[in-house]
A = this chain, B = another copy of it.
Amino acid sequence: MTAYIVTVGDEILIGQITDTNSAWMAQQLNLQGIRIVGKTSVGDIHEEIIESIRYALTKADLVLMTGGLGATKDDITKKAIADFLGVPMVWHQGTFDRMAYFFKKINRTVSEMNRNGCFMPENALILKNDKGLAPAMWFDIPSEFQMSNVKFQGENAQNTENSSGNAQNTEGGVKTSNVKRQTNRVLVSMPGVPYEMQHLMSDRVLPKLRGSFPMSPIVHRTILTAGEGETTLAEKLSDFEDRLPAHVKLAYLPSLGTVRLRLTARGDNEAALNRDLDALKIELESIVKYAVAGYDNDTMPVVIGRMLKERGLTIASAESCTGGYLAHLLTSVAGSSAYFEGSVIAYSYDLKEKLLDVSHETLMRVGAVSEECVREMVQGAVKRLGVDLAVAVSGIAGPGGETTEKPVGTIWLAVGDGERIITTKIGIDRGRLKNIEYAANIGLNLIRKYLTT
């Protein structure tokens, strides 16, 4: 099965927003074994939207549209779909009722413009949006539908489907047709607001796709690795990959300082696929064991948080060049107050001495960007903040500030409890912001290493 994404909105074409929806949708579809063959963005122009839909439907079985459903945009996507399919717009009472209920709660009345948003293409199957006012719309495009824009010969009933993805109700006074569809292709239109789109994809569209199409089982196992590059992992796993059965694929998904390894198996027998992957996962893990940090949707801050909670340990950071970014990553996880106590960011020599007890002699002799300094920062933070563990970073984020021995990108890191301390050094200049982000991620992995050795 193949899919094509069409995003609608001038705001994408003038560069006002970055399209993050497409990447998210692509990931979700991939997990279902649906391949995206292309993606197009168009402005809020009626004819352009129609042309994009037509083009996309010649390319793929499933076309997913986002955007252009807001009332202020004059519902341009809906009208374009209706005109493409050759159906009229009809009033949808269910959408109005939800809107009226919501507005009543916030003491507002439904305006004429809002009311306009309750008209839908006649043959739309309405997928309820629990996170916003504009529902998603599902259109079955039967095989006999002519792309050259003739009148749509399919159903004319207007249905509402609830979250179960199965029940069909009559709403809006139009009786549901129960004729079995002969569907070749599907068109789905969703709002462009990311969290609304994600809700509609996860809770409505994907379940309905699984129910509507004969999709062969696809199963995954995802392993999060840290501290090792994609190339090195690929070399170590080269034999393993060569031996993989034809129905199993291994994907490398690299990010800053981590690589996700994803095993995917397709076939007819889901139980057999699961057995295959469980065995292969064990084999894979045994090869790159030292780098395995977590599974599935784990992130490094989540992994570290879990380890610290399990052991009942608290942590703090002592940061120079990362300027608080490592603390930000640690506290990006809900519930991090259970193990994260606080941090000292000491940019100046003076504050390194005053707040972290780094010795004046060390700073004078080897400078702040040194193994000695980050060791003392760990010791100072553990003592001053009264935590079990501390992570320290000091380096040259650049641009500027480099010396002959210490070029921009030279960054020292340490993790320890005041007695046992491990350190590491990185030294490639990726530009100031990337240096900061990379160092913070290396810091997270150093915490993991400390806790596992």
Distance to closest chain B CB from A1 (angstroms): 14
Which of B15, B25, B38, B195 has a CB less than 8 Å from the CB of A41? B38
* A155 interface hit (Cβ, 8 Å): no
B386/A354 in contact, CB under 8 A:
yes
> Could you give, for residues 1-27 of chain A, a 1 whenever the CB lies within 8 Å of some chain B CB and a 0 otherwise?
000000000001111111110111111
- Which of A13, A24, A26, A326 has the most chain B CB atoms inside 10 A of its CB? A13
Bound Cα distance from A322 to B323, whole angstroms: 13
A15/B43 in contact, CB under 8 A:
no
* A343 interface hit (Cβ, 8 Å): yes
Q: Give the residue name and chain of the B residue nearest to A352 (CB).
A: B342
Distance to closest chain B CB from A407 (angstroms): 15
A43/B48 in contact, CB under 8 A:
no
Which of B14, B41, B324 has a CB less than 8 Å from the CB of A326? B324
* A331 interface hit (Cβ, 8 Å): yes
A334/B24 contact (C-beta < 8 A), A324-B324, A344-B342 known: no
* A327 interface hit (Cβ, 8 Å): yes
B342/A348 in contact, CB under 8 A:
yes
A20/B18 in contact, CB under 8 A:
yes
A15/B19 contact (C-beta < 8 A), A324-B324, A330-B323, A348-B341 known: no
* Count of this chain's copies in the oligomeric assembly: 2
Which of B327, B337, B347, B399 has a CB less than 8 Å from the CB of A348? B337
Distance to closest chain B CB from A375 (angstroms): 19
Bound Cα distance from A14 to B322, whole angstroms: 32
B40/A40 in contact, CB under 8 A:
yes
* A325 interface hit (Cβ, 8 Å): yes
Report, as a range, how many residues of chain A touch the other chain: 35 or more
* A37 interface hit (Cβ, 8 Å): yes
* A433 interface hit (Cβ, 8 Å): yes
Which of B322, B323, B342 has a CB less than 8 Å from the CB of A346? B342
Which residues of chain B come closer than 8 Å to A401, judged between CB atoms? Answer: 337
A19/B22 in contact, CB under 8 A:
yes
A13/B40 in contact, CB under 8 A:
no
B15/A26 in contact, CB under 8 A:
yes
Which of B15, B16, B38 has a CB less than 8 Å from the CB of A48? B38
A331/B335 contact (C-beta < 8 A), A37-B43, A340-B347, A342-B345 known: no
A13/B36 in contact, CB under 8 A:
yes
B43/A27 in contact, CB under 8 A:
no
* A332 interface hit (Cβ, 8 Å): yes
B16/A253 in contact, CB under 8 A:
yes
Which residues of chain B come closer than 8 Å to A35, judged between CB atoms? Answer: 13
> Could you give, for residues 345-381 of chain A, a 1 whenever the CB lies within 8 Å of some chain B CB and a 0 otherwise?
1111011001100000000000000000000000000
**25 pairs, A vs B, C-beta closer than 8 Å:** A13-B35, A13-B37, A13-B39, A15-B22, A15-B36, A16-B253, A17-B23, A18-B19, A19-B22, A38-B40, A38-B43, A40-B40, A323-B332, A324-B327, A331-B345, A331-B347, A332-B432, A334-B399, A334-B432, A340-B347, A342-B348, A343-B345, A351-B385, A355-B355, A355-B385
Known: A340-B347, A343-B345. 4 other contacts (CB 8 A): A13-B38, A18-B19, A18-B22, A341-B347
